[in-house]
Homo-oligomer: A and B are copies of this chain.
Amino acid sequence: MVQPVPLAEIWRGPFLESVHLGHAVIVDGTGQIVEAWGDPSVTVLPRSSSKMLQALPLIESGAADAFGLGQEQLALACASHNGAAIHTDRVRAWLDHIGMTDDDFRCGPQEPGDKEARDALICAHDAPCQYHNNCSGKHSGFLTLNKHIGGDPEYVQTDHPIQRAVLDGFEDLTQEASPGFGIDGCSAPNFATSLLGMARAMAFYANAKEGQGVRASAAARLRDAMVAYPELVAGEGRACTELMRAMDGRVALKTGAEAFFIAIIPEKGWGIALKVADGTTRGAECAIAALLVRHGLLDAEHPATRKRMNAVIRNWRGIETGMIRPAEQILPRANG
């Protein structure tokens, strides 16, 4: 087994204080590896980085069009949002639109990450709702599809037609039989694959064009919705949102829990998948930024980049105490 390799380093003064090891792979449209670090064959749970795959049946079934969903809803279906008003207002309107309520969700209530929304709940002594859950857009997609097919309300059961449809698309695009699943934070099954399989699927999204078949059309629409509405995919201050904006729509990005990250790069026809083995988000964010800089897609000096890669760490008095920076082997190459 190939061991994970250093991807990101935490320095404090002159000392390497912590290090994040992981695996990363870049794949082109033919499924060939462009670059790899660590073990591309490692089995992974892509967590929320698989939301674009979980949203395919929503479009392929005709449900999205039957309910007139637009790009905002498709972006939310792929989102891990932070429960800000821009997210929850749209999710609640979506529920109204399909004639469902918060009680129909199976994602569970989650305190919003957005400080304004969180503080408002705290000071009103209100409990969070399921629509605050970071996955409520994905679940709105599941509910829309379920309404369309008249499915059993327990739509996160692994043998439910929705999850079977998700698995079908997942195995098709990863080009692997999934070895199983884990239950995600939002209670949906999260299917396993290899890191390489996940990068292959993302390369499919990078090369997908509308009109080239049902699956490619669905993938292209989801990808385009993500880059059109980066603030809906995550939220203000978040990595996916800020880095997608910094690349002006050239790249679609999606994080996943336990330090997963994917990138969809249409202009190169590439998919990237990376997993920091210890599951720490700061490591995954630093590493994906470095890979995008390495390939000329992201400006190393853009504030959104500098927040995650070569990012200054400051303490409670604002004093600079250290830095998070990419490991040498994923640094931008000298020739750009």
Contact = CB atoms under 8 A, between A and B. Distances in A.
Given A12-B183, A184-B321, A187-B316, A258 B17 contact: yes
A108 B186 contact: no
Contacts of A279: 10, 17-18, 280
A13 B181 contact: yes
Nearest to A128: B316
A322 B15 contact: no
A89 interface: no
Interface in A82-141: 106-110, 119, 122-123, 133
A142 to B, nearest CB: 14
Please report whether the interface of chain A is mostly helix, strand, loop or mixed according to DSSP: loop
Give how many copies assemble into the complex: 2
Nearest to A315: B185
A121 to B, nearest CB: 10
Interface string A277-318: 111100100000000000000000000000000000001111
Contacts of A68: none
A180 interface: yes
A226 interface: no
B183 A19 contact: no
By size class, the interface of chain A is: 35 or more
A20 interface: yes
Contact of A182 (B13, B107, B119): B13
B259 A18 contact: yes
B258 A10 contact: yes
Nearest to A107: B316
A282 to B, nearest CB: 9
Interface in A34-90: 43-45
A317 to B, nearest CB: 4
Given A122-B122, A123-B123, A322 B18 contact: no
A192 B11 CA distance: 13
Nearest to A3: B3
A248 to B, nearest CB: 33
Given A17-B44, A18-B279, 14 more contacts: A10-B279, A12-B183, A13-B180, A13-B181, A15-B43, A17-B45, A17-B279, A119-B123, A182-B321, A183-B315, A185-B315, A186-B316, A187-B315, A278-B280
The 5 closest A-B CB pairs, nearest first, are A108-B316, A18-B279, A13-B182, A12-B182, A108-B317
